[in-house]
Amino acid sequence: MVDYRYYIDTVNEYRRLTKNIKTKQATKLNGLSDHSIGRIPGARHDYSHLDKKGNPTLRISIFVKNVINVIKNGELTEDNSKAEGYSLDGWKVVISKQKKTYGKVVTIKPQKQKKKKRKKRD
């Protein structure tokens, strides 16, 4: 389990690294939502997501620098009035455009990789 100090350090690192940065759609980055912070600290047991047996699931993590890399270099995969999303290297980062959470990273999630179809042999 991750302690509170780690959350504070993660938020501070994100703020330091994203100061005055805008997305490709000119959205100024404005912090992390509580939901997205939980993706950064590392693989951990997440008690807010339980499996069928009631056990906490193990969550995958991503470093702050990688989150920023996805935003800067990722492909724009979602762009609407509520959010914009970027994808790169198997990760998707979604940034809010809603008034209350404008500019905050609201979701960080691993994306399923599409499997290449194999050609049939004659």
Q: How confident is the model at residue 78 (pLDDT cuts 50, 70, 90)?
A: very high
Q: Answer whether 0.85 is exceeded by the pTM.
A: no
58: Cβ contacts below 8 Å, ≥ 6 apart: 43, 44, 45, 46
Q: Which has more pLDDT, 48 or 14? A: 14
Which pLDDT score is estimated for 115? 55
**SS3 per residue for 4-64:** HHHHHHHHHHHHHHCCCCECCCCCECCCECHHHHCCCCCCEEEEEEECCCCCEEEECCCCH
Domain assignment present for 121 = no
Given phi > 0 = left and psi -120 to 50 = alpha, else beta, which region is 105? beta
The whole-number pLDDT of residue 120 equals 65
Other CB atoms within 10 Å distance of the CB of residue 57: 12
Q: Is residue 105 part of a domain?
A: yes
User: Quick one: pLDDT band at residue 122, thresholds 50, 70, 90?
Assistant: low
Tens of pLDDT, residue by residue over 28-54, are 998 888 777 767 765 456 666 677 888
Maximum Cα–Cα distance across the chain:
60
Q: Which domain holds residue 20?
A: 4-110
User: Would 119 be classed as within a structural domain?
Assistant: no
Domain count, the chain: 1
Q: Provide the token pair at 115.
A: 């499997």
- pLDDT, residue 72, reads 93
pLDDT at 43: 47
Residue 122 domain flag: no
- 64: in domain: yes
Whether the predicted pLDDT of 116 surpasses 90:
no
The reply to whether 40 falls in a domain is: yes
Per-residue pLDDT, 8: 82
- Residue 117 domain-assigned? no
Indicate if the alpha-carbon torsion angle 74, 29, 37, 85 is positive or negative.
negative
Q: Would you say residue 51 lies in a domain?
A: yes
